[in-house]
Chain A
Amino acid sequence: MNVKSWGAMLVAATVAGGCGEADRQAGTTPADTAHSPDAAYVLAAEPSGSLGVGEARRLADEEVTVVGRIGGSAKPFVDGLAAFTIVDPSIPYCADEEGCPTPWDYCCTQNEVKDNIATVEIVDDQGQTVAKDAKALLGVKELSTVVVQGKARRDEQGNLTVLASKVFVKK
């Protein structure tokens, strides 16, 4: 086989491999699209005294600062509303080497997630949930670590919802 043939094979393999990778990523990895966050809701510095989600579910007062990682299901964001679920950062998600296509669903640690998950709704001055995707509003994606400040609302079943007015995006 001459140099040209090897070159052609290399190009073909690169194109084929590249396409497959692109397809895989398009469907399964967090969106990499860069969104410029809305300064009205995003904090420049990390607030102090934040609680993990698990602790907040047990102890939180009306005003809380909670830290968590966006995830808990295959689709943690609500379409068209600035709302999502966060999981306590102490709960591990599937490691990269496990090859899980949606590590943010915590499929390996579902039982631990139940008591360490909270819903975050970004609310405006009137207390209404902002009608914009959280990804675009805050510049976040699945598995981003966020610190949210706001009012805690807990129902009889122990579900915690944080009506957040400010969010700090850690990474």
Chain B
Amino acid sequence: MLGFRPLPWEYGVRNLLRRPTRSALTLGALATVVLLVFVVVGFIRGLERSLAVSGDPSVVLVYSLAAEESIENSSIPARTDGLITASLSGIHKRFGVTHVSPELYLGTRVAVGESEQGALGLVRGVTEAVPLVRRRVRLIEGSWPGPGEVLVGKLAPAKLGSTADELALGNSVRFEGREWKISGRFTAGGSALESEIWCRLSDFQQALKRQDLSVVALLLREGASASEVELFCKRRVDLELQAVRETAYYESLQKHYRPVRMLAWLVVFLVAGAGVFAGLNMMYGAVAGRIREVATLQAVGYRRRAILLSLIQEGALLSAAASLLAGGSALWLLNGMAVRFTMGAFTLRVDSVALLIGCGTGLLLGVLGAIPPAIKALRLPVAESLKAI
């Protein structure tokens, strides 16, 4: 570059090592701020992913018109699945089995281990047809539940505030006045189903003294449209049903949780903003102690922008190291951590987007934090600065 002589790269690096305590403290503070950003972004990404993967575009949910957007409030006649099977031609059928899953779904208190009180859990009464429709479900341990037995989802311990050991195979849970033995565990590709407990539909109906269903989930055959199911619901006005694609159902939940996500993003900005001020404070301190050094560099012929660049380099180096430290810690400690939420549970997700936002925020803190104090130091007259203590 003509007429521009930057300070050597090593100068900035050595400067950081010359003040190890101050550098370590700045590094720690920046890493903490970036880690906080990772926590919040991981929360948002986890929630978004949980809702995004929960819907299968080929699955249509038929539930009560009065339930509006919540299947928990739905009550439909027990014969609905039979009526649907008999009336619709667009349902996937294989080896003579129509892929229709009648389900009874309820949020209820579930007690685990010695606890008497229990926590609010989500229980779904299902038949053996459920894996035909809920295609992401995999039995990872144990066997299909028999009478008085349940399957527990991978995230059910998080939802119930208990440990995986307490919900191990052979242990029992208590809900609706009965004791249920755990016969197996399942995953569902990270979807909301993973925070549920599943038992046999007939057992659950008996326990609740109910004959109705909450929802009928059906798998459409390839090329079939959900409109046929919608039209069936319109024709059978007496049943007061509505049909919604599963993806649309979870999209509506996404809208429902929009304020939570907006609030979380606000927290990201507030944390980042606080980080910028903390960074500014630290950098002011760091540069204030180096006024003579800055003036000396000017006196020996380095231009102000070269010195500014070197100070920014120091800030960027520190913040990059802090971002790496925080990113590593987030991947190790936070990624996959289960979080309890109203709709169930989900895992914090430190993915590429979260890493980009977290590390980007970190780098920005370092660079932006270095500029104002550096400019302030460079504005002082050289002769005056050389006499500074």
Which A residues form the contact surface with B (CB < 8 A)? Answer: 72-75, 78-81, 83-85, 114, 117-119, 121, 129, 155, 157-159, 161
Contact = CB atoms under 8 A, between A and B. Distances in A.
B238 A119 contact: no
Given A73-B65, A161-B235, A79 B230 contact: yes
A121 B68 CA distance: 24
Given A73-B65, A73-B242, A75-B242, A81 B231 contact: yes
Contact of A85 (B225, B226, B234, B238): B234
B74 to A, nearest CB: 14
Contact of A159 (B226, B236, B242): B236
Interface in B231-255: 231, 234-238, 242
A118 B225 CA distance: 23
Interface of chain A, main secondary structure: loop
Contacts, number: 42
A115 B231 CA distance: 19
Contacts of A80: 225, 227
Nearest to A153: B235
Given A72-B237, A78-B234, 13 more contacts: A73-B65, A73-B242, A78-B227, A79-B226, A80-B227, A81-B230, A84-B234, A85-B234, A85-B237, A118-B237, A119-B235, A155-B235, A155-B236
B237 A129 contact: no
17 contacts: A73-B242, A75-B242, A78-B227, A78-B230, A78-B231, A79-B227, A79-B230, A80-B225, A80-B227, A81-B230, A83-B231, A83-B234, A119-B237, A155-B236, A157-B238, A159-B236, A159-B238
Interface in B192-206: none
Scoring A81, A84, A117, A129 by chain B CB atoms within 10 A of each residue's CB, the highest score goes to A81
B67 to A, nearest CB: 12
The 10 A-B residue pairs with the shortest CB-CB distance in the complex, in nearest-first order: A80-B227, A157-B238, A81-B227, A78-B230, A119-B234, A159-B237, A78-B231, A119-B235, A161-B235, A117-B237
A161 B65 CA distance: 19
Nearest to A118: B237
B340 to A, nearest CB: 30
Contact of B236 (A75, A84, A114, A157): A157
Interface string B216-230: 000000000111001
- How extensive is the interface on chain B, given as a class? 10 to 19
Nearest to A79: B227
B71 to A, nearest CB: 16
Scoring B68, B231, B234, B235 by chain A CB atoms within 10 A of each residue's CB, the highest score goes to B234
B104 to A, nearest CB: 23
A76 to B, nearest CB: 8
A85 B233 CA distance: 11
Contacts of A78: 227, 230-231, 234
Contacts of A118: 237
A117 B238 CA distance: 10
A158 B239 CA distance: 11
Contacts of B226: 79
Nearest to A73: B65
Contacts of A155: 235-236
Nearest to A81: B227
Interface string B52-83: 00000000000001001000000000000000
A157 B235 CA distance: 11
Contacts of B227: 78-81
Nearest to A113: B237
B223 to A, nearest CB: 13
Nearest to A161: B235
Nearest to A57: B237
A79 B237 CA distance: 17
A23 B112 CA distance: 45
B231 A114 contact: no
A155 to B, nearest CB: 8
Interface in B299-326: none
A117 B225 CA distance: 25
Contact of B235 (A72, A74, A79, A159): A159
B70 to A, nearest CB: 14
A161 B231 CA distance: 11
A74 B230 CA distance: 13
Contacts of B235: 119, 155, 159, 161
Nearest to A76: B234
